[in-house]
Amino acid sequence: MKELNLSERKVLTLLEQNCRLSANQIAKKTRLSPEGVLKIINRLKELKIINKFNTKINYSIIDYKLYPVHLKLLRLNDEIINKIKNIIKNHKTCAWHTFCEGEYDLLLSFKIQTEKDKTNMSELLKEISDYTLEKEVSIVLYAFEISKSFIEEKNNRIFQTFNYNIESIDLTKEEKGIIELLKDNSRETILNMSKIIKINPRLISSKIKKLIKLNVISGFKTKINTASLNYQPCIALISLGNHKETEIKKFMTYCQYKEGIDYLVRQIGKYDIELTINAKNINDFYQIINDIRKQFRFVKKITTLILNDPV
For residue 294, pLDDT over 70 is answered with yes
Q: 3-class DSSP state for residue 242? A: coil
pLDDT band for position 295 (cuts 50, 70, 90): very high
Least confident of 9-18, 145-154, 215-224: 145-154
pLDDT in tens, 224-259: 999 889 898 999 999 999 999 999 999 999 999 999
pLDDT for 144: 97
* Architecture in CATH of 141-163+227-309: 2-Layer Sandwich (3.30)
Pairwise CA distance, residues 83 & 93, whole Å: 18
pLDDT band for position 94 (cuts 50, 70, 90): very high
Is domain 65-140 classified as CATH 3.30.70.920?
yes
pLDDT band for position 222 (cuts 50, 70, 90): very high
Residue 181 has phi, psi (to 5 degrees) of -65, -40
Sequence ranges of the domains in the chain: 1-47, 65-140, 141-163+227-309
How does 96-126 read in b/e, with b if 16+ C-beta sit within 10 Å? ebbbbeeebbbbbbbbbeeeebeebbeebbe
Q: What is the DSSP letter of 285?
A: H
For residue 1, pLDDT over 60 is answered with no
| Cβ atoms of 68 and 109 closer than 8 Å | yes
Task: Say which CATH class 1-47 falls into.
Answer: mainly alpha
pLDDT for 227: 87
pLDDT for 310: 53
The rounded percent of the chain whose pLDDT value lies above 90 is 92
| Average pLDDT over the chain, rounded to an integer | 94
Instruction: Note whether 1-47 and 141-163+227-309 share their fold.
Output: no
pLDDT for 35: 97
pLDDT for 271: 98
Cα 131–137–138 angle (5° rounding)?
A: 155
pLDDT band for position 220 (cuts 50, 70, 90): very high
Residues 164-192, mean pLDDT to the nearest whole number: 94
pLDDT for 309: 62
Residues 23-48, mean pLDDT to the nearest whole number: 96
